[in-house]
């Protein structure tokens, strides 16, 4: 990260292959692009085109077989799994479509737990939870458990948790997959707004063209996993 807190994620020739019995499946083939703070990027493409594979690599949850991904000066392929975990805690929020809220904790406690990794003062944790639950219009439900929320509310709680961490990179894999059109647009709007302060980079995968239209640009992966087509939203 540069001194001004801005971030650049540079992918060069990134490939990921999986062994499948006697065959090798190329999930991503030579992906090259640069993502910057202030951008919201939608990753689209047919099922199996490598969207989740790409996001997993960008979130330092996986290792590329070829190519490099730099997050600022850090080359993700050079990190140990412990360093990957540390990088995610400090710089990358990853959000899947299942949202992974712990069922026995309230929304408030779920966010508090995520922030406890960050060595923040308790008052600051409380401030961030209030601010971000208000931002997603969920403060009224802060003390409910995930099972007592609608799926749209759960999605917003997970977004509030990601925003409260204030990591410079937010990666979301189909965050609106289980939502109706209205909730999906609401989530898309919140994600786009998160990058609009210029200090955050938001990258999300989606099958929904309406959700993708909230991004500044779209990276479309092709089903044959060759080089991506580029286009603007
Ligand atoms: N762990 C794995 N082992 C073997 N093959 C895998 C693995 N993960 C993904 N693949 C294969 O890699 C390709 C890309 O998968 P990926 O999940 O990235 O696609 P996707 O674009 O996210 O699809 P969807 O829209 O259905 O979520 C697919 O052919 C998939 O079967
Ligand atoms: Mg996927």
Each residue's pLDDT tens digit, 189-202: 999 999 999 999 99
Please state the domain count of the chain. Answer: 1
- Residue 23 CB less than 6 A away from ligand 1: no
| Domain coverage including residue 37 | 8-232
Angle (CA) 86 136 96, round 5°? 45
Res 147 pLDDT > 90: yes
Q: Which numbered ligand comes closest to the C-alpha of 224?
A: 1
- Residue 47 CB less than 6 A away from ligand 1: yes
Is residue 1 domain-resident?
no
- Please list all protein residues whose beta carbon sits less than 5 angstroms from ligand 2, which is an ion: 51-52
- Residue 56 CB less than 6 A away from ligand 1: no
Strand partners, 217: 41, 232
Q: What distance in Å separates the CA atoms of residue 110 and residue 147, rounded to the nearest whole number? A: 13
Is residue 67 domain-resident?
yes
Q: What is the pLDDT of residue 100?
A: 87
Is residue 3 domain-resident?
no
| Residue from 15, 16, 17, 18 whose mutation best tests the ligand 1 pocket (most atoms within 8 A of CB) | 18
Is residue 47 domain-resident?
yes
Residue having the nearest C-alpha atom to atom 18 of ligand 1: 50
Identify each DSSP E strand in 165-216 by its residue range.
169-173, 201-205
pLDDT digits (tens, 9 = 90+) for 207-218: 999 999 999 999
The lowest-confidence range among 96-100, 116-120, 130-134, 218-222 is 96-100
CATH number for 163: 3.40.50.300
Residue having the nearest C-alpha atom to atom 28 of ligand 1: 48
Sign of the dihedral through C-alpha 102, 81, 67, 167: positive
Q: What distance in Å separates the CA atoms of residue 157 and residue 199, rounded to the nearest whole number? A: 21
Identify each DSSP E strand in 55-195 by its residue range.
66-71, 74-75, 92-95, 169-173
């Amino acid at each position: 990260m540069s001194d001004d807190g801005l971030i650049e994620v540079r992918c060069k020739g990134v490939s990921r292959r999986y062994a499948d019995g006697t065959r090798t499946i190329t999930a991503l083939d030579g992906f090259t692009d640069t993502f910057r703070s202030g951008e919201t990027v939608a990753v689209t493409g047919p099922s199996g085109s490598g969207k989740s594979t790409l996001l997993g690599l960008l979130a330092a949850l996986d290792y590329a077989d070829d190519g490099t991904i730099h997050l600022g000066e850090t080359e993700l392929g050079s990190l140990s799994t412990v360093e990957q975990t540390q990088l995610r805690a400090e710089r990358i929020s990853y959000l899947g479509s299942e949202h992974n809220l712990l069922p026995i904790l309230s929304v408030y406690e779920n966010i508090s737990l995520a922030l406890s990794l960050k060595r923040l003062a308790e008052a600051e944790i409380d401030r961030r939870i209030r601010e971000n639950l208000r931002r997603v219009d969920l403060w009224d439900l802060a003390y409910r458990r995930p099972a007592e929320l609608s799926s749209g509310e759960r999605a917003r709680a997970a977004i509030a948790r990601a925003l409260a961490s204030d990591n410079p990179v937010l990666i979301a894999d189909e965050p609106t997959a289980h939502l109706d059109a209205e909730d999906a647009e609401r989530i898309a709007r919140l994600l786009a707004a998160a990058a609009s302060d210029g200090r955050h980079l938001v990258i999300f995968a989606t099958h929904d063209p309406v959700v993708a239209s909230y991004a500044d640009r779209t990276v479309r992966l092709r089903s044959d996993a060759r080089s991506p087509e580029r286009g603007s939203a």
